[in-house]
Every structure is written in structure tokens, then in C-alpha cells.
Amino acid sequence: MISGKRFVLTLPILLFALAAALVVTMISCGGGNSPSANSTFQPTGIPTTPSVSNVTPQNGFFGMTVGLFERGASFADRWPTVPFGTLGKVNGTQWSAIEKTPGNYDWTNLDAAVQMAKSHGAANIIYTFFGVPKFYTVNASSPSCALAGCPGPPTNLQNFTNFVTALATRYKGQINYYELWNEGNRSTSWAGSTPDFVALAKTAFQAAKAIDTNAKILTPSPSVAPDFASFVQGFLQQGGSAYADGVSFHGYHCSDNASRTCLAGTSCDQNALDCAGAPLQNIIQDVRSSQQAAAVSNIPLYDTEGGWQQNKDLPNINDQIAYISRWYVIQASEGVKLAVWYFWGGSPDDPNQWGSIYNAQTGQPTQAATAYQTTYNWISGATMNGACSSDSNNVWTCPLTFSNGNTGLVVWNGNETSGSYTPASQFVQYETLSSTAPVSIPGGGTATIGEAPILLESGNRP
């Protein structure tokens, strides 16, 4: 996350080509010509993007941060009613919450979270390191110490080695991803240098791999700030790439304002929904560019946390429905290994909660959760045939092939207006995010598109 609110928390291989940078750079946030409502869009053919090979989202691509163990919150311990394969970081399980006195570990919350995830069939569990215990830091006066632990680094790496060893021993074969640090480009999270981070990465990598050779170590994640790309590049170039199985980033909405400055090309100042479009692709492209600059472009990408940020940033439910579907489809098309939504919990009516798709007051998922479920059904097991792209009318298309051989095309209008879209002749039906059955398209017929994605199909999907 980008603000201090996060500190109640504790807890693929892609080809890079210069053509991708040109494609992404040409797509502007909410850009394109604005057709009038109810205009007819003619397809220019199924697009291909040479930067991304055909990719099939693997088991675990859909991730979720779950509001477990919140301090007295009404949504605590309510497991999601929607399917997902990866459990993101869990509050109450950061280093400082486990090691409350030197050398003594309280695994209560993490044991419960791991057991719950496994009992619900989660394929992956991510543990995120952050929050140094007060007795292991020179930053004991930092305000964040009272929330979720002090900023790194620890004063003595041996103390961190001991914790990693105990953690990996206890959860060998259960926790399969270890993310080095949470938003390490924020001073409230990390007060050390890049070499300090690399030293920490080496410690974590060697200690965890000595116990569990199958464990994967992810780089420290950056927030979407102006130093986002330089943070990733610096860590990789200064030796961090030797201790990373994946590059972690946070795919959040970002708008430039008096209190926040975004990474260039990732802001959606006029319309928050636009961030589930070119700005999100630009975030991914910036990570790849940083990898290329560091000569390690073969390391896969993991979006370990993201969404529309606080509910007040995207208060309209129709926008939320469109956002969450676009967010997952774009990242699947870009070959991101997994994408973790933040989060399941809170209340949609609370403007200060983050990405709420579950109403804790009613115990019911929101319409955005329904859109998530539909998107999950659309692309799980399908092969994404290149990255999503937009045309001169800002109509977005994302081609895919289902496991039964039928083809599909996810389509939406980036201008958020409604209009008729004439699909290529092979598409005979379509589904919306709220469909209960496909709608037939007669020969030469059209489908209505708007801000929310629809799925065109050449035949029934599995």
C-alpha cells in the first residue's frame, strides 16, 4: 500500500522486447478518440503484441489478501466465498508480531492462516517480511514501530537469519513464497540503503533455501511512487538479482495530488477507473524495463498486492465492477505470474477501507466480487494470446483461447461510454460480467460494450 494505513498488516518467465515499450507508451490514460454514445465500433482484427508470449494463467494466478485477525474488526476470520489460489500477506503475522521477545516466537496467527488456506485448497501462500522488532533496530523511535514493527534493516543480520530459519522450518512445504519486504521504497518501511537490502536478501535466500529448496524468494515490493522503477533496478543491479526467484511489485491505482506523486505514466488523475488500463500496463512495463537495465529480464513478475486503493478513490460500484475485471485480465495477458487483490474485508460503505469487495455488515460479497468470480471463470485455464491492446477509439481487446480450442476476446470501451461493437465473424455469442448464459450474436450482428468487459466467444467455453 502507499499510505501508512498498511501497517495493520503483516502478512511468470516472460520475454522483453523493445516493441512493448512503444506500444505501452502510445497508450495514454483514458486516451484515444472519444466516440459518441451508441456509436458502432468496427474491429481491426485480433491484435497481437510481440512483447508477450502466449501465456496460460497457472493455478494460483488469482490471489487475495484476506482480513484475518484484524483487531476487533467485524470481518475478521471470514473466509472469501469466491475462489482464489494464492493467499497474500496476513495482518498480525509480521516479524515483530511473531517475535515479541528475543528468540521467542508466537506462531498462533500464522498457524491459523496457513491451516485455513490449506483447508480451502489454496495453492500458494505468500509470507512477507517486514516490521523489525523494537529490540532489533536502531529506529525504535519511528512511529511505525507502534503499528506493525519498526523500519528495516535490523541491527544484526543474525537475528533475521534466526527468524527466517525458524519460519522456513515450521512451514516447509506450506509457505511457498517469501517476499523480502513490504514497499521498501517507503521510509516508514525501510530506512537502510540498497546494499543493506541486498545483504538482507542474501540472508533470507540462503536461510530459506537451506531448509526448503522449493521455496521461492521474491524481491522487496515497491509502492507506485516516483522512485518505483529506480528502486527495482537498483536492487537488481547491486546484486539482489542473485537472490531472487521473482520480482515483486504492487499494482495499485495512483492519482497525483497534493499528498502523493505517482510514477510517471501511472497516474489516472481525471478518472480512477482509467488506472485499470494503460497505467497498469505502464507499471508492468516499468518493472520489465528495470529488469532489462539490470540484465535480468528473465525473472518472472508477481503482483503481490493491488487494487483501486481506498474505497473513496473509486466509490461507484459500476466502476468497481469494471476495475477488478480489467485488473486481472490485463495482468493475465501480460504474463504476470500471480495477482493478489487487496482486499477481502472491510465495508464498501467505509471510504477509508481498501478495495472492499465484501460487505462485513451484511456478510455478503459485493457486485464487484461477482465480477471477480466471472472473470475467474473466463480466464482460468485459458491461454492469453498476447497482451491487451487499445485502438484509436480506445476500445480494448484481449484475445484468448480456451482449453477446448474455442477462442474468445475480452472487450471494453476505455472511454466508459456505451456503444455497439461489431465483432469478427468467428464470434457467435458473448457473456457479460453478470450473465447467467451466453447471448447469441446473429450473423453480422453487434454486441453492446461499455466500461465493463464482455467476453466474445467462438463457441462455448469449458
The answer to whether position 409 is within a domain reads no
Q: Rounded to whole angstroms, how far apart are CA atoms 250 and 275?
A: 13
For residues 324-332, average pLDDT: 98
Question: For the residues of 123-143, what is the DSSP string, one character each?
Answer: SEEEEE---B-GGG-S-TTST
Instruction: Examine residue 139 and state whether it is found in any structural domain, yes or no.
Output: yes
Query: CB-based contacts of 338: which residues, under 8 Å, 6+ apart?
Result: 60, 61, 62, 63, 85, 86, 124, 302, 303, 304
**Banded model confidence at residue 72, pLDDT cuts 50, 70, 90:** low
Is 105 a domain residue? yes
Domain-embedded: residue 45 = no
At 152 the three-state DSSP class reads: strand
Nearest to 288 by CA among 11, 19, 84: 19
Q: What angle do CA 89, 59, 82 make, to 5 degrees?
A: 65
Q: Cα 147 from chain centroid?
A: 24
In-domain check, residue 348: yes
Q: Give the angle subtended at the CA of 266 by the CAs of 260 and 270, to the nearest 5°.
A: 75
431 in a structural domain: no
Number of domains the chain is built from: 1
pLDDT tops 60 at residue 315: yes
**pLDDT tens track for 169-202:** 999 999 999 999 999 999 999 999 999 999 999 9
The DSSP result for 216-270, as a single string, is EEEPPPPPSSTTHHHHHHHHHHTTGGGG-SBEEEEEE----BTTB-PPTT---SS
**Domain carrying residue 238:** 4-31+56-381
Give the pLDDT score at 69: 82
> pLDDT band at residue 55, thresholds of 50, 70 and 90?
confident
Q: What percent of the chain has pLDDT over 70?
A: 87
16-25, 76-85, 435-444: least confident range: 16-25
- Please state, rounded to an integer, the average pLDDT across all residues of the chain: 88
Q: How far apart are CA 235 and CA 303, in angstroms?
A: 17
pLDDT digit string, tens, across residues 400-415: 999 999 999 999 999 9
Better-scored residue on pLDDT, 230 or 73: 230
Supply the CATH number for residue 133's domain. 3.20.20.80
Model confidence at 397: pLDDT above 50: yes
The pLDDT-based confidence of 347 (bands split at 50, 70, 90) is confident
- The region, left, alpha or beta by phi > 0 then psi within -120 to 50, assigned to residue 63 is beta
| Residue among 18, 29, 10 at smallest CA distance from 267 | 29
Q: Considering only CA atoms, which of 383, 412, 239 is closest in space to residue 322?
A: 412
Tell me, what's the pLDDT at 70? Answer: 75
Could you read off the pLDDT of 105-144 as tens digits, one per residue?
999 999 999 999 999 999 999 999 999 999 999 888 888 8
In a domain, 47, yes or no: no
DSSP 8-class letter at 87: E
Please check whether residue 391 lies inside any domain of the structure.
no
Give the three cell numbers for residue 11: 502478512
Rounded Cα gap, residues 43 and 53, in angstroms: 22
